[in-house]
Structure 1
């Protein structure tokens, strides 16, 4: 089949896991796919963890064994100090899929795109600048090149840039941010406080505090990420605007401090403030287009489900487009209903998780105890358990 350079069957905007999952799924079904990705990457991410539930998704996409070891390290479970000072554990090793991963997103995403290219997906560095409907097809300006296509996938992240240009609206639940720093792991041959060789702890750790919560995990390449998570308007009051204030707030923790300060004794040189809020795009699909990953629905990182959600919605979005192309007029509405149902379930689980922490009557926590439109009683909700 002759492929017209600027007239693919599907144009996918966004080269992260959601976009690649959609592109690979479409290519496996015979579609000519152009994947548009920013050559500079999408920037730093909030939580760099991958649930064991993602393994069958990666295997189904044919990429599980094509991801280099340098882009991921094992994650054996979650530890949390939530609702009380003691640590509780949730382990992956006895589950059906084994360990999860802590991933370095830049090489991880690059490896996914290489797999997409090997599967026949055409990569185009740049971004979709504009899009309009003409004669039953989309006409898109892709960094100076004009492409026409019958189908679009928006995988541009939580801002849902493409879907919003097509008339969808972004509904934000909160304005959560993560104030993050990298800490080099430089204690070779040391048995850390959690019984790990080389100071490496292969679990994620979450610890709640009056202003929000802390997260830390070891990443590939001898690094550790440490971040304070709170609402954007509370950053200054918590002292998190400067490296010195951030370091002082870290020193006030118990469990995160034990991990982080074993590797570093001074404040970091700089901090990164990263958006981490919950939002949804309404609608997440329409005739000839779908949104996937954070562009469809972005979730609070307490759930540790972002990458798994990106892969799953990418696959489901591609399936909806295929079914629409095969003449099913309700494919997009079913996909939209699925995205909405999964997001509503996340909101219920998130409410239960936050309400389990009752020690502090501070703005961060009282906001999350307020009655919500979506509530549910559930037992045993812990950080990282909402997927």
Structure 2
């Protein structure tokens, strides 16, 4: 038997920062909204460095004070070896928005989700979406929770399912612009005193190293999935690490002792112009290369833009135009920053990012 719930103004699929923020804004405005998710993420999560541009956005969304209570670590600068053999420090002291931050990403996700729940949004986790159907002006969403089937009606459907999993076939229309993956591990009990984010280019990709709360440091290597070997992956990564000039000074020893994880980091854009009253946000709408440091900023900004469409403050076309403008700016910066690294411009990884004729 399928149980039916009262109708909602909006169903949000995905309870990460973008989905939770959209639900929070809608609930604060008196709209009925429910968040559905497969699970609440536990363990580790990357995406720990926030640029200074996040500060005015957090204030605009009325979560800045709660954010400060989560004990983020200030980030004064980025230190990089990129296009040159010598390190360069980009100091945020000259940035009009102030300093950046190192955060516990899972704690931040929970902070935004709690904001949505406290604002009045309903939340269901450990659910499986079985079907999404449009009947007239309404969506019928069927899902299963603890072996019980449920059906809910909604005027709007917001997709915040990220780069990967999605419940709707139309997301297969997503354009993907590269094959980037992130190989990472987290080192515990690290007494690192340099609060800067470290970035270092290498002939087949680039390294990222950042401190995070609770005396931890995350180390990442980004490359394309087809460049990394199918066997002896950790040994290959260890060779890449040993060849660095900057990154290896933050970590001693062989990398084979750590637990490595791999996650999707591809850039992509979803064309949703033909979908009525379906709004993708965050990585579901536009996923960005982590080099941009804009993923979380875009997640929250798109949530705000999306909520304003549902509240009637702006049109869906305006939201689509905003996504297009964000994409065009992102791709311009993508080509610009990757183009600054000229030491290995004929290597496949770098050639793919500076040539319009070579894409995955």
TM-score, structure 2 normalization:
0.90
Equivalent residue number for residue 183 of structure 2: 179
Q: 1:37 to 1:43 in 2, by over 3 A?
A: farther
1:302-321 alignment to 2 at 5 Å? 302-321=291-310
Cα distance between partner residues in 2 of 1:307 and 1:278: 14
Q: Deviations over 1:269-308 (max 9, x none)?
A: 3211111110000126732120000000001111111000
Partner Cα separation in structure 2 for residue 255 and residue 172 of structure 1: 31
Q: Is the 8 A contact 1:79 1:205 kept in 2?
A: yes
Per-residue CA deviations over 1:156-201 (Å, capped at 9, x if unaligned) read 1013724x435671110011001111122444xxxxxxxxxxx232
CA distance in 2, matches of 1:42, 1:338: 32
1:85 partner SS: coil
Q: Is 1:241 aligned with 2:233? A: yes
Question: How many angstroms apart in 2 are the aligned matches of 1:127 and 1:266?
Answer: 37
Cα distance between partner residues in 2 of 1:271 and 1:86: 28
* 1:284–1:307 CA distance, 2 compared to 1 (3 A): farther
State which of 340, 354, 358 in structure 2 corresponds to 1:369: 354
What is the CA distance between 1:318 and its match in structure 2? 0.9
Other-structure match for 2:322: 338
What's the CA shift for 1:129? 3.1
2:277 to 282, 288, 296: 288
TM-score, with structure 1 as normaliser: 0.84
Change (3 A) 1:148 1:266: closer
Higher deviation after alignment, 93-102 or 296-305? 93-102
Aligned-pair RMSD on alpha carbons?
Answer: 2.5
Matching of residue 47 in structure 1 with residue 47 in structure 2: yes
User: Structure 1 pair 338/285, CA: closer, same or farther in 2 (3 Å)?
Assistant: farther
Q: Distance in 1 between matches of 2:273 and 2:117?
A: 27
| Correspondence list, 1:206-285, <5 A | 206-236=199-229, 241-242=233-234, 244-261=235-252, 267-283=256-272
Question: How many angstroms apart in 2 are the aligned matches of 1:217 and 1:256?
Answer: 10
Distance in 1 (alpha carbons) for counterparts of 2:206 and 2:305:
32
- Which whole-Å CA distance do the structure 2 matches of 1:17 and 1:204 have between them? 22
2:173–2:270 CA contact under 8 A, matched in 1? yes
User: Any residues of structure 2 matched to 1:18-29 within 5 Å, and which?
Assistant: 18-29=18-29
- Alignment of 1:128 onto 2:129: yes
The answer to whether the Cα contact below 8 Å between 1:78 and 1:91 also exists between their aligned partners in 2 is yes
User: Structure 1: which 5+ runs fail to align?
Assistant: 188-198, 374-387
Q: Does 1:117 align with 2:117?
A: yes
Deviation at 1:127, TM superposition (A): 4.4
Alpha-carbon distance in structure 1 between the residues aligned to 2:170 and 2:302: 19
Matched, 1:81 2:81: yes
In structure 2, the residue corresponding to 1:282 is in which secondary structure?
A: coil
Residue deviations 1:100-157 (CA, integer Å, cap 9, x gap): 2122221211111111111111111134332101132100013332111011110110
| Equivalent-residue separation in structure 2 for 1:92 and 1:288 (angstroms) | 40
Match of 1:382 in 2: none
1:168–1:284 contact (8 Å) kept in structure 2: no
